[in-house]
Amino acid sequence: MKRFLLDRRMYAEYAVAAALFAVNILLALFMPYLTEHKRIYDSGAYIAALVIAFLIYTAGVHATRRKSASDIAVVLFAFFLAWEIAYKTGAVRNDLLIPSPEGLFHVFAEKPEEIWQDVLGSLQLLFWGFFLAILFGTLLGLLAGWIPRVREVLLPISNVITLIPPLMFSAYLIMVFATFREAAVAVIFFAVFWPTFQGTVTRVALMDRAVIEAAKTMGVGTAGMLARVIFPYCLPGIIKSISRSLRGAFMCLTGAEMLGINLGIGYFIEKYKSFADYRCVLAGIVTVGVITTVIDILVNRAEKALIRWEQ
């Protein structure tokens, strides 16, 4: 803390972010609506969101001591400040498509249980689709990377399939599988399996041949080669690819949920879009952004902890 306060340049940027945060709070509490709107929402949830964002920013800037954290906070608070002023002064008059910041965050106070259940539903689908894709993609990739005949059969097929957006399979998968949940898991599986397979094959091909030859001289067979030599060698690359794969998997998940499954944050967005309740639609989009950001942070930290020797 003391070292942070002694950094004058960082302290000035922190002060700017704090000032914008305080102005946002004051406007939410005391600025009147200068034009008529269909509904005025309580500012409690919005203020709580601002406070949480400021606390996260404060913790982050003290932990990382990066100036970019202050830049992000300044942009974020300036955006909400402009939005609040535009709405209350009447520059934004379309209550249906562009709600007030208070209206947007009030959704989280109105429907906390529904949002939470949909988030849990999405995470369950994401886990099973992603876990199965990583498992089978890695196993088949190791096998194809080691056995040329298997590679010559499967790699051309994967090159074709990976060019097709996974969501294009969703309409067919919904008809094939017994439930929408199974279809959603299958969409995630398709989105992650083939890139994982191709990446594993490439990593096996790039292995140091001296390592393989040394293992052969010690009489290591195919099973031992795959389990004790090739897999440990490829493991850091597999772990590094998980973050990128998760982003694509979550995008495919929310898209699949919009097509028919009756649970998940994608379904939440689609449902309220059909009701023309765009406050809830925007709240769903914000929720997706928060979830993907948290997942990305957790995966990156796990990656650094698991493969410290490559940092």
Write the pLDDT tens digit of every residue in 294-305.
Answer: 888 888 787 777
| Cβ–Cβ < 8 Å for 87, 101 | yes
Q: What is the pLDDT of residue 261?
A: 66
What's the whole-number mean pLDDT along residues 69-75? 90
Q: Where are the domains of the chain?
A: 2-110, 112-310
Confidence of residue 259 (pLDDT cuts 50, 70, 90): low
Asked whether residue 46 carries a pLDDT value surpassing 60, the answer given is yes
Asked whether residue 145 carries a pLDDT value surpassing 50, the answer given is yes
pLDDT: which is higher, 246 or 83: 83
Kindly state the tokens that stand for 236: 């850091």
What's the whole-number mean pLDDT along residues 229-251? 79
Q: How far is CA 308 from the centre of its chain?
A: 23
**Average pLDDT over the chain, rounded to an integer:** 84
> In the block, which residue shows the tokens 């293992």?
215
Radius of gyration of the chain (CA): 25
Q: Which of 34-48, 86-100, 126-140, 235-249 has the lowest mean pLDDT?
A: 235-249
State which CATH number among 3.30.565.10, 1.10.580.10, 3.40.50.920, 1.10.3720.10 fits the domain covering 112-310: 1.10.3720.10
Q: What is the pLDDT of residue 210?
A: 79
Asked whether residue 208 carries a pLDDT value surpassing 90, the answer given is no
Q: How far, in Å, CA of 200 to CA of 133, rounded?
A: 12
Q: What is the pLDDT of residue 106?
A: 95
Asked whether residue 86 carries a pLDDT value surpassing 50, the answer given is yes
Kindly state the tokens that stand for 226: 């795959």
DSSP state of 277: -
Q: How far is CA 4 from the centre of its chain?
A: 30
Q: Is the pTM of this model over 0.85?
A: no
